[in-house]
Amino acid sequence: MGNTPDYNALLSRLEIPHPKESRPLLPLTLKAMGAHSKGFKAALDWLTERAVGGRSGASKDAVRDAMRLILMNLVDAMFSRCWIAIPGKQESYNPGGYLHDRLHLSARSVKACLDALTSATPPLVLKERGYVDFFGGKNQCNKYFPTPDLQHVIWDAYVAIEEPIEPPYVEFKKPDAAWKPSQTDIDRLTKINEFMKNHSWTGKGPIRLIYSQNPIRGGRVYTRFSQLPMKKVELRINTLIDGEPICEVDYVSNHSRMALVLAGYEPPADIYEDIRDRLPKPVEREKIKAFMNMSFGASDSEKAFNACKREKINRDLFDLLRDTVLRIYPRLDSYLFRDLGAKLQSLEGAIAIDIMLEGVKKNIPVLPVHDSFAVPIKYESWLIETMQLVWSQHVFNASLPPNYPSVSMKYPKTLA
Protein backbone atom coordinates (compact mmCIF):
# COMPACT_ATOMS: atom_id res chain seq x y z
CA MET A 1 0.00 0.00 0.00
CA GLY A 2 1.00 3.61 -0.29
CA ASN A 3 3.02 5.12 2.57
CA THR A 4 1.15 8.41 3.10
CA PRO A 5 -2.39 7.72 4.36
CA ASP A 6 -3.12 6.43 7.87
CA TYR A 7 -5.35 3.54 6.87
CA ASN A 8 -6.22 2.84 10.48
CA ALA A 9 -7.74 6.32 10.81
CA LEU A 10 -9.68 5.82 7.58
CA LEU A 11 -11.02 2.43 8.62
CA SER A 12 -12.06 3.79 11.99
CA ARG A 13 -14.69 5.89 10.17
CA LEU A 14 -16.50 2.74 9.06
CA GLU A 15 -19.20 1.06 11.09
CA ILE A 16 -18.59 -2.37 12.61
CA PRO A 17 -19.78 -4.88 9.98
CA HIS A 18 -22.89 -6.94 10.62
CA PRO A 19 -22.01 -10.38 12.05
CA LYS A 20 -23.60 -12.05 9.02
CA GLU A 21 -20.61 -10.67 7.10
CA SER A 22 -18.20 -13.35 8.25
CA ARG A 23 -15.72 -15.90 6.98
CA PRO A 24 -13.63 -18.76 8.43
CA LEU A 25 -9.94 -18.52 9.26
CA LEU A 26 -7.77 -18.32 6.13
CA PRO A 27 -4.25 -19.81 5.77
CA LEU A 28 -2.62 -16.39 5.68
CA THR A 29 1.13 -15.81 5.76
CA LEU A 30 3.26 -12.81 6.72
CA LYS A 31 6.01 -12.15 4.17
CA ALA A 32 8.40 -10.48 6.61
CA MET A 33 8.39 -8.79 10.00
CA GLY A 34 9.61 -5.50 8.54
CA ALA A 35 8.89 -1.85 9.17
CA HIS A 36 5.22 -2.39 8.36
CA SER A 37 4.77 -4.98 11.09
CA LYS A 38 6.53 -3.67 14.23
CA GLY A 39 3.23 -3.14 16.01
CA PHE A 40 2.03 -6.56 14.92
CA LYS A 41 5.17 -8.25 16.27
CA ALA A 42 4.91 -6.44 19.59
CA ALA A 43 1.26 -7.49 19.92
CA LEU A 44 2.13 -11.06 18.95
CA ASP A 45 4.89 -11.27 21.58
CA TRP A 46 2.74 -9.77 24.34
CA LEU A 47 -0.36 -11.79 23.56
CA THR A 48 1.58 -15.04 23.24
CA GLU A 49 3.05 -14.58 26.73
CA ARG A 50 -0.38 -13.71 28.04
CA ALA A 51 -1.95 -16.76 26.37
CA VAL A 52 0.68 -19.19 27.65
CA GLY A 53 0.57 -17.59 31.12
CA GLY A 54 2.13 -20.52 32.89
CA ARG A 55 -0.28 -23.02 31.40
CA SER A 56 1.35 -26.36 30.68
CA GLY A 57 -1.42 -27.69 28.46
CA ALA A 58 -0.37 -25.94 25.25
CA SER A 59 3.20 -25.40 24.14
CA LYS A 60 4.45 -21.85 23.61
CA ASP A 61 5.34 -22.56 19.97
CA ALA A 62 1.85 -23.91 19.22
CA VAL A 63 0.23 -20.94 20.92
CA ARG A 64 2.47 -18.45 19.09
CA ASP A 65 1.68 -20.05 15.72
CA ALA A 66 -2.05 -19.96 16.49
CA MET A 67 -1.88 -16.37 17.74
CA ARG A 68 0.02 -15.27 14.61
CA LEU A 69 -2.62 -16.81 12.36
CA ILE A 70 -5.53 -15.36 14.35
CA LEU A 71 -3.96 -11.88 14.41
CA MET A 72 -3.30 -11.98 10.66
CA ASN A 73 -6.94 -12.89 10.08
CA LEU A 74 -8.06 -10.06 12.36
CA VAL A 75 -5.91 -7.62 10.37
CA ASP A 76 -7.53 -8.90 7.19
CA ALA A 77 -10.96 -8.55 8.85
CA MET A 78 -10.34 -4.82 9.33
CA PHE A 79 -9.86 -4.30 5.62
CA SER A 80 -12.32 -6.82 4.21
CA ARG A 81 -14.93 -5.67 6.76
CA CYS A 82 -16.00 -9.07 8.00
CA TRP A 83 -16.02 -11.04 11.23
CA ILE A 84 -13.84 -14.11 11.68
CA ALA A 85 -15.70 -17.31 12.60
CA ILE A 86 -13.61 -19.53 14.90
CA PRO A 87 -15.02 -22.84 16.20
CA GLY A 88 -14.62 -23.68 19.88
CA LYS A 89 -15.55 -27.36 19.88
CA GLN A 90 -12.81 -29.98 20.09
CA GLU A 91 -14.21 -32.02 17.19
CA SER A 92 -13.64 -29.09 14.83
CA TYR A 93 -9.90 -29.58 15.31
CA ASN A 94 -9.75 -33.35 14.86
CA PRO A 95 -7.37 -34.87 12.27
CA GLY A 96 -8.88 -34.92 8.80
CA GLY A 97 -10.50 -31.52 9.19
CA TYR A 98 -9.55 -28.14 7.71
CA LEU A 99 -8.42 -26.55 10.98
CA HIS A 100 -6.11 -29.45 11.87
CA ASP A 101 -4.77 -30.51 8.48
CA ARG A 102 -4.62 -27.17 6.64
CA LEU A 103 -4.11 -24.62 9.43
CA HIS A 104 -2.31 -26.91 11.92
CA LEU A 105 -4.38 -25.65 14.82
CA SER A 106 -5.44 -27.37 18.03
CA ALA A 107 -8.50 -26.56 20.11
CA ARG A 108 -6.30 -25.98 23.16
CA SER A 109 -3.96 -23.43 21.56
CA VAL A 110 -6.84 -21.56 19.88
CA LYS A 111 -8.75 -21.35 23.17
CA ALA A 112 -5.67 -19.96 24.92
CA CYS A 113 -5.35 -17.27 22.22
CA LEU A 114 -9.01 -16.29 22.28
CA ASP A 115 -9.01 -16.14 26.09
CA ALA A 116 -6.03 -13.77 25.96
CA LEU A 117 -7.77 -11.52 23.43
CA THR A 118 -11.17 -11.42 25.14
CA SER A 119 -9.94 -11.13 28.75
CA ALA A 120 -7.59 -8.19 28.14
CA THR A 121 -8.57 -4.85 29.66
CA PRO A 122 -10.07 -3.39 27.58
CA PRO A 123 -10.95 -6.45 25.43
CA LEU A 124 -9.06 -6.57 22.14
CA VAL A 125 -11.81 -8.28 20.16
CA LEU A 126 -15.57 -8.02 19.92
CA LYS A 127 -17.29 -11.38 20.28
CA GLU A 128 -20.55 -12.47 18.70
CA ARG A 129 -21.67 -15.65 20.41
CA GLY A 130 -22.56 -18.63 18.25
CA TYR A 131 -25.88 -20.41 18.23
CA VAL A 132 -27.67 -23.42 16.85
CA ASP A 133 -29.40 -22.65 13.55
CA PHE A 134 -32.37 -25.03 13.73
CA PHE A 135 -33.70 -23.89 10.35
CA GLY A 136 -30.37 -24.02 8.51
CA GLY A 137 -29.36 -27.25 10.21
CA LYS A 138 -25.90 -25.97 11.20
CA ASN A 139 -24.20 -24.74 14.34
CA GLN A 140 -23.00 -21.14 14.01
CA CYS A 141 -19.68 -20.75 15.84
CA ASN A 142 -18.43 -17.68 17.71
CA LYS A 143 -17.32 -14.72 15.61
CA TYR A 144 -14.66 -12.12 16.37
CA PHE A 145 -13.74 -8.63 15.16
CA PRO A 146 -10.81 -6.47 16.36
CA THR A 147 -11.58 -3.51 18.61
CA PRO A 148 -10.07 -0.08 17.83
CA ASP A 149 -7.42 -0.70 20.52
CA LEU A 150 -6.12 -3.76 18.68
CA GLN A 151 -6.63 -2.26 15.23
CA HIS A 152 -4.43 0.69 16.12
CA VAL A 153 -1.51 -1.64 16.87
CA ILE A 154 -1.70 -4.28 14.14
CA TRP A 155 -3.27 -2.59 11.06
CA ASP A 156 -0.02 -1.74 9.25
CA ALA A 157 0.95 -5.40 8.89
CA TYR A 158 -1.67 -5.74 6.16
CA VAL A 159 0.79 -4.83 3.41
CA ALA A 160 2.83 -7.93 4.23
CA ILE A 161 -0.05 -10.39 4.64
CA GLU A 162 -0.84 -12.81 1.82
CA GLU A 163 -3.02 -15.82 1.25
CA PRO A 164 -1.00 -18.55 -0.47
CA ILE A 165 -1.85 -18.81 -4.16
CA GLU A 166 -2.58 -22.49 -4.52
CA PRO A 167 -5.44 -24.67 -5.79
CA PRO A 168 -8.28 -25.32 -5.80
CA TYR A 169 -9.05 -22.32 -8.01
CA VAL A 170 -12.54 -23.55 -8.98
CA GLU A 171 -14.93 -24.19 -6.12
CA PHE A 172 -18.59 -24.87 -5.34
CA LYS A 173 -20.30 -23.07 -2.44
CA LYS A 174 -22.65 -26.02 -2.12
CA PRO A 175 -20.65 -29.15 -3.02
CA ASP A 176 -22.60 -31.61 -5.13
CA ALA A 177 -21.19 -35.00 -6.10
CA ALA A 178 -23.03 -34.74 -9.42
CA TRP A 179 -21.03 -31.65 -10.44
CA LYS A 180 -17.29 -31.45 -10.95
CA PRO A 181 -15.16 -28.49 -12.08
CA SER A 182 -14.47 -28.62 -15.80
CA GLN A 183 -10.87 -29.13 -16.83
CA THR A 184 -11.15 -26.03 -19.00
CA ASP A 185 -12.08 -23.90 -15.97
CA ILE A 186 -9.24 -25.41 -13.95
CA ASP A 187 -6.67 -24.85 -16.71
CA ARG A 188 -7.71 -21.23 -17.29
CA LEU A 189 -7.74 -20.27 -13.61
CA THR A 190 -4.46 -22.09 -13.03
CA LYS A 191 -2.81 -20.12 -15.84
CA ILE A 192 -4.03 -16.84 -14.35
CA ASN A 193 -2.93 -17.67 -10.80
CA GLU A 194 0.49 -18.98 -11.81
CA PHE A 195 1.10 -15.71 -13.64
CA MET A 196 -0.14 -13.56 -10.73
CA LYS A 197 2.15 -15.30 -8.23
CA ASN A 198 5.02 -13.19 -9.58
CA HIS A 199 3.21 -9.90 -8.91
CA SER A 200 2.44 -8.00 -5.73
CA TRP A 201 -0.71 -6.22 -4.57
CA THR A 202 -2.61 -5.39 -1.43
CA GLY A 203 -4.70 -8.31 -0.21
CA LYS A 204 -2.74 -10.76 -2.36
CA GLY A 205 -4.33 -14.17 -2.69
CA PRO A 206 -5.77 -16.61 -5.22
CA ILE A 207 -8.23 -15.62 -7.91
CA ARG A 208 -11.04 -18.16 -7.76
CA LEU A 209 -14.06 -19.06 -9.85
CA ILE A 210 -16.84 -19.96 -7.41
CA TYR A 211 -20.15 -21.54 -8.38
CA SER A 212 -22.96 -20.66 -5.99
CA GLN A 213 -25.21 -23.39 -7.40
CA ASN A 214 -24.34 -25.67 -10.33
CA PRO A 215 -22.23 -24.97 -13.43
CA ILE A 216 -25.33 -24.48 -15.59
CA ARG A 217 -26.25 -21.54 -13.33
CA GLY A 218 -22.80 -20.03 -13.78
CA GLY A 219 -19.91 -18.98 -11.56
CA ARG A 220 -18.36 -15.72 -10.44
CA VAL A 221 -14.74 -14.64 -9.99
CA TYR A 222 -13.63 -13.69 -6.45
CA THR A 223 -10.50 -12.19 -4.87
CA ARG A 224 -9.60 -10.82 -1.44
CA PHE A 225 -8.64 -7.59 -3.21
CA SER A 226 -12.27 -6.97 -4.21
CA GLN A 227 -13.30 -6.90 -0.53
CA LEU A 228 -11.30 -3.75 0.23
CA PRO A 229 -13.62 -0.82 1.10
CA MET A 230 -14.54 1.67 -1.62
CA LYS A 231 -17.94 3.17 -0.79
CA LYS A 232 -17.52 5.13 2.42
CA VAL A 233 -13.72 5.14 2.32
CA GLU A 234 -12.03 4.86 -1.08
CA LEU A 235 -9.35 2.52 0.15
CA ARG A 236 -8.98 -0.01 -2.66
CA ILE A 237 -8.18 2.55 -5.35
CA ASN A 238 -5.35 3.93 -3.17
CA THR A 239 -3.45 0.65 -3.02
CA LEU A 240 -0.66 -0.49 -5.36
CA ILE A 241 0.06 -3.24 -7.88
CA ASP A 242 3.75 -4.05 -8.22
CA GLY A 243 4.47 -0.88 -6.25
CA GLU A 244 2.62 1.35 -8.76
CA PRO A 245 -0.59 3.41 -8.38
CA ILE A 246 -3.62 1.79 -9.96
CA CYS A 247 -6.73 2.76 -11.86
CA GLU A 248 -10.01 0.86 -11.81
CA VAL A 249 -12.17 0.67 -14.94
CA ASP A 250 -15.83 -0.18 -14.45
CA TYR A 251 -18.51 -1.39 -16.87
CA VAL A 252 -21.42 1.05 -16.63
CA SER A 253 -24.85 -0.54 -15.87
CA ASN A 254 -23.41 -3.87 -16.91
CA HIS A 255 -26.25 -6.28 -16.08
CA SER A 256 -28.91 -4.04 -17.59
CA ARG A 257 -26.82 -3.48 -20.69
CA MET A 258 -26.23 -7.22 -21.16
CA ALA A 259 -29.92 -7.97 -20.66
CA LEU A 260 -30.93 -5.41 -23.30
CA VAL A 261 -28.52 -6.94 -25.81
CA LEU A 262 -29.79 -10.45 -25.04
CA ALA A 263 -33.32 -9.14 -25.69
CA GLY A 264 -32.22 -7.79 -29.08
CA TYR A 265 -31.86 -4.06 -28.28
CA GLU A 266 -28.98 -1.71 -28.92
CA PRO A 267 -28.40 -0.15 -25.47
CA PRO A 268 -28.36 3.62 -25.03
CA ALA A 269 -25.30 5.34 -23.60
CA ASP A 270 -26.88 5.40 -20.12
CA ILE A 271 -29.77 3.02 -19.58
CA TYR A 272 -30.86 4.50 -16.25
CA GLU A 273 -30.89 8.06 -17.59
CA ASP A 274 -32.87 6.86 -20.62
CA ILE A 275 -35.54 5.43 -18.32
CA ARG A 276 -35.51 8.45 -16.01
CA ASP A 277 -36.04 10.86 -18.92
CA ARG A 278 -39.25 9.01 -19.82
CA LEU A 279 -40.78 8.91 -16.35
CA PRO A 280 -43.67 11.29 -15.57
CA LYS A 281 -41.97 12.43 -12.33
CA PRO A 282 -38.40 12.80 -11.04
CA VAL A 283 -36.87 9.57 -9.69
CA GLU A 284 -33.35 9.11 -8.33
CA ARG A 285 -31.01 7.30 -10.69
CA GLU A 286 -29.90 4.93 -7.91
CA LYS A 287 -33.49 3.77 -7.39
CA ILE A 288 -33.87 3.01 -11.09
CA LYS A 289 -30.61 1.08 -10.97
CA ALA A 290 -31.76 -0.86 -7.89
CA PHE A 291 -35.09 -1.69 -9.54
CA MET A 292 -33.40 -3.04 -12.66
CA ASN A 293 -30.86 -5.16 -10.78
CA MET A 294 -33.44 -6.57 -8.34
CA SER A 295 -35.87 -7.33 -11.16
CA PHE A 296 -33.34 -9.23 -13.26
CA GLY A 297 -32.24 -11.25 -10.23
CA ALA A 298 -35.69 -12.15 -8.87
CA SER A 299 -37.72 -15.16 -9.97
CA ASP A 300 -41.04 -13.27 -9.81
CA SER A 301 -42.42 -9.75 -9.46
CA GLU A 302 -43.30 -10.05 -5.77
CA LYS A 303 -39.80 -11.16 -4.81
CA ALA A 304 -38.39 -8.27 -6.80
CA PHE A 305 -40.68 -5.85 -4.97
CA ASN A 306 -39.67 -7.22 -1.56
CA ALA A 307 -36.02 -6.72 -2.49
CA CYS A 308 -36.74 -3.22 -3.76
CA LYS A 309 -38.39 -2.24 -0.46
CA ARG A 310 -34.93 -2.35 1.13
CA GLU A 311 -33.99 0.44 -1.28
CA LYS A 312 -37.04 2.49 -0.20
CA ILE A 313 -38.96 1.75 -3.39
CA ASN A 314 -42.66 1.59 -2.51
CA ARG A 315 -45.38 -0.23 -4.44
CA ASP A 316 -46.43 2.79 -6.50
CA LEU A 317 -42.87 3.53 -7.60
CA PHE A 318 -42.18 -0.15 -8.29
CA ASP A 319 -45.26 -0.40 -10.53
CA LEU A 320 -44.35 2.85 -12.30
CA LEU A 321 -40.80 1.66 -13.03
CA ARG A 322 -41.98 -1.76 -14.21
CA ASP A 323 -44.60 -0.30 -16.54
CA THR A 324 -42.22 2.33 -17.93
CA VAL A 325 -39.39 -0.13 -18.58
CA LEU A 326 -41.70 -2.56 -20.37
CA ARG A 327 -43.21 0.27 -22.41
CA ILE A 328 -39.75 1.39 -23.57
CA TYR A 329 -38.33 -2.12 -23.95
CA PRO A 330 -41.28 -4.52 -24.37
CA ARG A 331 -39.07 -7.52 -25.18
CA LEU A 332 -37.66 -7.32 -21.64
CA ASP A 333 -40.90 -8.95 -20.56
CA SER A 334 -39.10 -12.26 -21.16
CA TYR A 335 -36.15 -11.21 -18.96
CA LEU A 336 -37.54 -9.27 -15.98
CA PHE A 337 -38.54 -11.41 -12.98
CA ARG A 338 -37.08 -14.52 -14.65
CA ASP A 339 -34.15 -15.22 -12.29
CA LEU A 340 -31.70 -13.91 -14.86
CA GLY A 341 -29.16 -12.77 -12.26
CA ALA A 342 -27.19 -16.03 -12.20
CA LYS A 343 -26.89 -16.08 -15.99
CA LEU A 344 -25.68 -12.47 -16.05
CA GLN A 345 -23.16 -13.16 -13.29
CA SER A 346 -21.93 -16.19 -15.22
CA LEU A 347 -21.49 -14.07 -18.33
CA GLU A 348 -19.69 -11.48 -16.22
CA GLY A 349 -17.38 -14.20 -14.87
CA ALA A 350 -16.55 -15.50 -18.33
CA ILE A 351 -15.71 -11.97 -19.46
CA ALA A 352 -13.49 -11.43 -16.41
CA ILE A 353 -11.52 -14.62 -17.05
CA ASP A 354 -10.89 -13.70 -20.69
CA ILE A 355 -9.74 -10.19 -19.74
CA MET A 356 -7.28 -11.62 -17.22
CA LEU A 357 -6.00 -14.13 -19.77
CA GLU A 358 -5.40 -11.28 -22.21
CA GLY A 359 -3.38 -9.67 -19.44
CA VAL A 360 -1.30 -12.83 -19.09
CA LYS A 361 -0.47 -12.67 -22.81
CA LYS A 362 0.72 -9.06 -22.46
CA ASN A 363 2.45 -9.56 -19.08
CA ILE A 364 -0.06 -7.18 -17.46
CA PRO A 365 -1.46 -8.02 -13.98
CA VAL A 366 -5.23 -7.54 -13.89
CA LEU A 367 -7.31 -7.78 -10.71
CA PRO A 368 -11.07 -8.36 -11.04
CA VAL A 369 -13.64 -6.55 -8.89
CA HIS A 370 -16.96 -8.04 -10.06
CA ASP A 371 -17.70 -5.89 -13.15
CA SER A 372 -14.61 -3.68 -12.91
CA PHE A 373 -10.87 -4.28 -13.19
CA ALA A 374 -7.74 -2.77 -11.67
CA VAL A 375 -4.34 -2.39 -13.36
CA PRO A 376 -1.33 -0.11 -12.93
CA ILE A 377 -2.33 3.27 -14.37
CA LYS A 378 0.11 2.98 -17.28
CA TYR A 379 -2.04 0.15 -18.70
CA GLU A 380 -5.35 2.03 -18.55
CA SER A 381 -5.75 2.43 -22.34
CA TRP A 382 -4.98 -1.24 -22.91
CA LEU A 383 -7.54 -2.23 -20.26
CA ILE A 384 -10.35 -0.08 -21.69
CA GLU A 385 -9.78 -1.46 -25.19
CA THR A 386 -9.59 -5.05 -23.93
CA MET A 387 -12.71 -4.71 -21.77
CA GLN A 388 -14.73 -3.34 -24.68
CA LEU A 389 -13.52 -5.99 -27.11
CA VAL A 390 -14.01 -8.99 -24.79
CA TRP A 391 -17.46 -7.76 -23.70
CA SER A 392 -18.57 -7.42 -27.31
CA GLN A 393 -17.27 -10.89 -28.18
CA HIS A 394 -19.29 -12.45 -25.36
CA VAL A 395 -22.49 -10.42 -25.49
CA PHE A 396 -23.32 -8.93 -28.85
CA ASN A 397 -25.51 -10.70 -31.38
CA ALA A 398 -24.19 -10.72 -34.95
CA SER A 399 -27.34 -8.92 -36.10
CA LEU A 400 -26.58 -5.84 -34.01
CA PRO A 401 -24.18 -3.10 -35.07
CA PRO A 402 -20.94 -2.70 -33.07
CA ASN A 403 -21.57 -0.70 -29.91
CA TYR A 404 -18.90 -1.00 -27.27
CA PRO A 405 -20.01 -0.91 -23.62
CA SER A 406 -19.62 2.28 -21.64
CA VAL A 407 -16.92 2.33 -18.99
CA SER A 408 -16.00 4.68 -16.15
CA MET A 409 -12.63 5.19 -14.49
CA LYS A 410 -11.46 5.64 -10.89
CA TYR A 411 -8.06 7.00 -9.91
CA PRO A 412 -6.10 7.32 -6.65
CA LYS A 413 -6.98 10.29 -4.48
CA THR A 414 -5.30 12.03 -1.60
CA LEU A 415 -6.83 10.48 1.49
CA ALA A 416 -7.29 12.62 4.55
Rounded-to-integer distance, Cα 297 and Cα 290, Å: 11
Section 222-230 average pLDDT: 89
Residue 132 predicted with pLDDT over 80: no
Work out the angle at residue 344's Cα, subtended by the Cα atoms of residues 24 and 194, and round it to the nearest 5 degrees. 55
What percentage of the chain reaches a pLDDT higher than 90? Answer: 65
Kindly report the length of the chain: 416
Phi and psi of 249, rounded to 5°? -110, 130
**Range list of H helices, 198-284:** 254-262, 271-277
Residue 369, helix vs strand vs coil: strand
Question: In the predicted model, is pLDDT for residue 313 greater than 70?
Answer: yes
56-70, 194-208, 353-367: range with lowest mean pLDDT = 56-70
Q: Which of 148-157, 229-238, 273-282 has the highest mean pLDDT?
A: 273-282
**Is the distance from CB of 252 to CB of 13 less than 8 angstroms?**
no
| Stretch among 7-11, 111-115, 201-205, 320-324 having the lowest mean pLDDT | 7-11
**Is residue 150 a contact partner of residue 124, using CB atoms and an 8 Å limit?**
yes
Q: Measured between alpha carbons, how far is 111 from 383 in angstroms, rounded to an integer?
A: 47
Q: Is the peptide bond before 168 cis (omega within 30 degrees of 0)?
A: yes
Residue 333 has pLDDT above 80, yes or no: yes
Q: Give me the pLDDT at residue 405, please.
A: 67
For residue 3, name the pLDDT band (cuts at 50, 70, 90): very low
Work out whether strand 138-140 and strand 131-133 pair parallel, antiparallel, or are unpaired: antiparallel
Residue pair 321/288 in contact (Cβ under 8 Å)? The answer is: yes
**For residue 217, pLDDT beyond 60:** no
Assessment of whether the complete model's pTM goes beyond 0.85: yes
E strands in 212-317: 219-222, 240-241, 244-251
Give all strands of the β-sheet with 208-211 in edge-to-edge order: 170-172, 208-211, 219-222
Is pLDDT above 60 for 1?
Answer: no
Confidence of residue 130 (pLDDT cuts 50, 70, 90): confident
Task: Give the closest residue to 240 by CA, choosing from 368, 372, 373, 375.
Answer: 375
Query: What's the longest Cα–Cα distance across the chain?
Result: 76
Name the residue with higher pLDDT: 409 or 176: 409
d(CA 144, CA 84): 5
Which pLDDT value is given to residue 216? 52
